[in-house]
Amino acid sequence: MANQLDDSDGEILEGFLCPICKDDLKTPERLTNHVETQHSEEQDILKSLKEIFGIAKKKILNLDEPSGDLSRNLESNLSLKASSLFSTKRFREPSEESVQEVGVDCDHTAYFKAVRNPRLERYATETNKLIIRLHKLLTDRPRDPIQRKMHEQERVPWLDGKSVKLCPSCAKSFHLTRRQHHCRLCGSIMCHMCSRFLDVNAAECLLNPSGESTPTNIEAQGPDRDTDPNSLRICEHCLHLLENRKEMQDRATFRPMITRLYDRIQELKREINPDIPMYRKMVDSLYEGDSIFTLADVSALRSKIGRVAEQVDNVSKGILALPTPQGSRAEALKKALRLACVAYIKDEMLSLPQLPLQEEIERHQRKRREETEMRIERERRLAAEALERYEQQNPTGSGVQADLGARSAATGSAVKSLDNWSGYRADTSGPNADPLVEQINIIKGYIKQARLALRFEEVATLEMNLRELQQEFYQRQQNT
């Protein structure tokens, strides 16, 4: 019962009134249903009504306090609920003095590990057993369905289904249209709807992980999975354990496409980085008139650098074309790698000096040859003047003059023949073969192979060795 004073006309309403719409519902049950259906958002009112009716019922049945306290409880409950419903909530701003201090903390890491480690060990043990059984099932697996079923029952014992009336997964009863099926890995019983099918090819990759793997779904797809010879019927639990193992393998071996393309760019950079300073050195050598490198050598090295630059550009374009979400960090990474590759090609490869013309190379070589001859002539003249002064001081030194003249002549002829050595081809197969000529021919063969392999650092070293051997050969010829 409820008394309600209407402010509009001063009329007093009595009955089981709804506190919101003021309708008389006649009974407590109808009032409760009315509030639940019509005013479901007012959960506080519904709760207060249930409490009031519960207290009234207890008082009527003499199961609680003396009846004198019923009115006080009803009035207190009504006043509290009404005040909470129709009064505005006031929020007090927290003051600086009421800031709560940090309490004592407790580290539960040891407890967490103590709970987790046995569970992980159990899962790992179960998964290892499944892997062993899977290996036995796939070894010498027949193609015939009947023989394949016998092979599966021999490798993994199946549970007896006579006492199993319900599917353990969905709790549905087995009958003519819902038959029993067995998991090929653990032998448990399930219905067809709760069965999962393992792809045989994915299972073989799970047994023999090698190299970089790509994350794939190990569950077989398609409408004919139960009759497909390339699928195994397993339960949900076994599939979950195998998927976890496959995910661990993928995390350990899988490398995203952007990582593989970036490694390819780094490999190309490591391949070409030694050749860029070597190219500059070879161009400088041509401009200085040196004959260690030829124009063909420098052109071949420049072509190699150009090919590598084109490969770096193509790989960076492939990185930029990879699909990524718009505005994500992966997209920003792609653009940064592309800009870095463009800057590398521009700064390191496109800024290489141009090759000189053949006429310009010959002019530089001719100029250097003339400078060398002038230097030799000047040294010879200075040596002759020094010899003349020595003879004036020592009249008996004529033998020294002949020896110095022979040595200077040998040196001059050796220097003049450095550019184009045309020594005789000795027969290196006979007993009187000259070891020096033999060594010269071997080094020439090495130089030819190094030029074909574009290994110009070795070409420069071998050319210097060849010049030293040529000079020694001519000195020995002059002395003899």
Render 265-286 in DSSP notation, one character per residue.
HHHHHHHHTTHHHHHHHHHHHH
Cα separation, 210 vs 207, whole angstroms = 10
| Nearest alpha carbon to residue 217 among 233, 201, 229 | 201
| Nearest alpha carbon to residue 478 among 419, 420, 405, 421 | 405
Alpha carbon distances (Å) from 443 to 267, 452, 457: 32, 14, 14
Lookup result for tokens 């008139």 = 289
Angle formed at CA 206 by CA 217 and CA 192, multiple of 5 degrees: 55
Per-residue pLDDT of the chain (480 residues; tens, 9 = 90+): 444 444 444 566 677 777 777 777 778 777 778 777 777 666 666 677 677 767 776 766 655 444 455 455 545 554 544 454 444 444 445 555 567 777 788 889 999 999 999 999 999 999 999 999 999 998 888 888 889 888 988 888 898 888 888 998 899 999 888 999 999 999 999 999 999 998 888 888 888 876 555 666 777 766 667 677 788 899 999 999 999 988 888 887 778 889 889 999 999 999 988 888 888 888 888 888 777 778 888 888 888 899 999 999 999 999 999 998 888 998 999 999 999 999 999 998 888 888 888 888 788 778 877 887 787 777 777 777 777 776 777 765 444 444 444 444 434 433 333 333 333 344 445 555 677 777 777 877 887 787 777 777 777 787 777 777 777 777 777 666
pTM: 0.45
What are the start-end ranges of the E strands in 284-440? none
Contact residues for 408 (Cβ-Cβ < 8 A; gap 6+): 379, 380, 383
Lookup result for tokens 């110009």 = 456
3: β partners: 14
Which tokens sit at 330? Answer: 């992966």
Cα separation, 240 vs 377, whole angstroms = 91
